[in-house]
A and B are shown apart, each in its own frame.
Chain A
């Protein structure tokens, strides 16, 4: 993608390139352009160095330290060894993995299904449904979590009322240790995958019509056209959505923080609530840094695996 994108302007500037190549690199014009280039990128690079590069290096270092306010000491893999024996950490890993394993496939398939139903409609209807499904996503996660907590309320919530109408007893959505995690998963599944629908629609609208016409001549049914043409041709989009939503799921925090605070017990603790607690409730910065590195490693590994697995038969 990068190669293709950067080709165009270089072709356009070919003539100047040729002229410049004959001049030595220290000529005034070259120097001036380089100087200007550095000036334009400088403000961003300074911010980037202070608030991203340095903190990342500090974070990696602290994962191997016993961090104290005035004198930190190098402890090697001690923080990671402690994590291996830390039940709450394992629980947070387990909860996050369950959450991701359920939410990501359901969300991606829902997005694909909805987009497939929307795509044949007129432009007006496409715009309408796209907007309806994306609308909730523009509200803050805090806002949505507050509403869902109210929907899940045991005594007065809408969900228990609706269950009552069906003749089912009340459910302790956020209070029972066995159910709370599944309630948080339910919220994620029932929230529309707005971004996914938008991305799939863009991909589907970009498929050449001739392919479908050729398939029709060959006698393909509607389902065959969808399964043999649409689904394979949007695989790059599927890959993108799967990777992005996996990364997002592993970083779930706000919903848990607002709705259960990680409880009851540690039944809904996730990796990021655990990092938050280690760092800012117990002020164990070394432990929190080690946990963050584990999160980083898992997210990266999953992204690599998904790339390998899903891009096997993608033709770009």
Chain B
């Protein structure tokens, strides 16, 4: 529907563009303010009226950030957590998705729909129990305590099953006639054909775990064990009004995700419309 066709339509188009652009500016103000403040010298941040843009820009806040906390360690922890969870989620969820989509076994559909039904249970119900399980396993204050529960997320199983269902079974049959075993069929046929869905799952899992806050906040204590978001929260508690420092840290956490989004935008859009909103 190209609705903006006649000249009255052109006027409408102009108004629509004006509204959308104004709203885009509004939407991006917080991100702009984040980066601008991170580049303003400490003594220039707390003044009134505020500096609307860094003049001249300085990396002083970033230099102070390195001294304020083990920021490199937090970056490393967040990367390890997000990458590990993503790797095993993609592996296990594609395997389970293949099993539920293509293999016949007793109880298959009952098990699958039980898993899906549990998606409605809010994560807060399991906070205390998993905390107790982790404490009994002696894993509190380790990255295992962050990684393991994240692997039980069921969204990916649903996504992979629905996608693999659309792959024609003739391809598997042909491979089976050629003597391929189940694992060969999975790794040589299913995985390559499901690559777009796997990419979507990988991106959303990585982003969700990179940004995750509540659970790491609960299970991690030592400064050196923290993930970046939790580290930022402690940094904020210790430097309440040092906004330059806080914004430098926040920028460090935001930039990888913004880069990921800008370079892989179509997968984000596909992921949102495929299986729903996550993370």
Contacts and interface: CB of A to CB of B under 8 A. Distances in A.
B194 interface: no
Residue of B105, B186, B262 contacting most chain A CB atoms (<10 Å): B105
B30 to A, nearest CB: 5
Contacts of B214: 253-254, 272, 276
Interface residues of B, number: 107
A198 B269 contact: yes
A148 B260 CA distance: 23
A242 interface: no
B138 interface: no
Interface in A238-264: 240, 244, 247-248, 250-251, 253-254, 257-258
A146 B165 contact: no
A255 to B, nearest CB: 10
Contact of B277 (A35, A244, A250): A244
Given A12-B169, A59-B129, A142-B233, A33 B23 contact: no
Contacts of A9: 101-102, 165-169
B45 A136 contact: no
A120 interface: yes
Of the candidates A52, A59, A132, A143, the one having the most CB atoms from chain B within 10 angstroms of its own CB is: A143
A147 B131 CA distance: 30
A37 interface: yes
B106 interface: yes
B3 to A, nearest CB: 4
A275 interface: yes
B63 interface: no
A47 B257 contact: no
Chain B residues touching A, majority SS: helix
A142 B261 contact: no
Per CB-CB distance, the 9 closest pairs between chain A and chain B, nearest first, are A37-B103, A40-B99, A55-B129, A51-B152, A140-B211, A37-B105, A34-B105, A58-B129, A55-B126
B47 interface: yes
A258 B234 CA distance: 10
A36 B182 contact: yes
B205 interface: no
11 contacts: A34-B105, A34-B106, A37-B104, A43-B91, A52-B126, A119-B1, A131-B262, A139-B254, A142-B253, A156-B45, A244-B276
A270 B20 CA distance: 33
A303 B103 CA distance: 33
Interface in B165-198: 165-170, 173, 182, 186
Contact of A299 (B33, B122, B265): B122
Interface string A115-138: 001111100010101111111101
Contacts of A285: 128, 132
Interface stretch (B53-61, B64-72, B242-250): B242-250
A209 interface: yes
Interface in A38-57: 38-41, 43-45, 47-48, 50-56
Interface residues of A, number: 105
A156 B47 contact: yes
B96 interface: yes
Contacts of B186: 40
A199 B103 contact: no
A54 to B, nearest CB: 7
A62 B108 CA distance: 31
Contacts of A143: 34, 229, 232, 250, 253-254
A296 interface: yes
B20 A117 contact: yes
B76 interface: no
B96 A155 contact: no
B92 interface: yes
Nearest to A293: B125
B31 to A, nearest CB: 6
Contacts of B27: 132-133, 135-136, 191-192
Interface in B227-242: 228-230, 232-233, 236, 241
Given A50-B152, A55-B126, A138 B49 contact: no
A212 interface: yes
Nearest to A61: B129
Interface in B2-35: 2-4, 12-13, 16-17, 19-20, 23-24, 26-31, 33-34
Given A149-B236, A251-B123, A257-B233, 12 more contacts: A9-B101, A9-B165, A41-B96, A120-B13, A121-B4, A138-B258, A140-B211, A143-B250, A153-B241, A156-B48, A198-B273, A253-B213
A247 B124 CA distance: 12
Interface in A260-289: 271-272, 275-276, 279-280, 285, 288-289
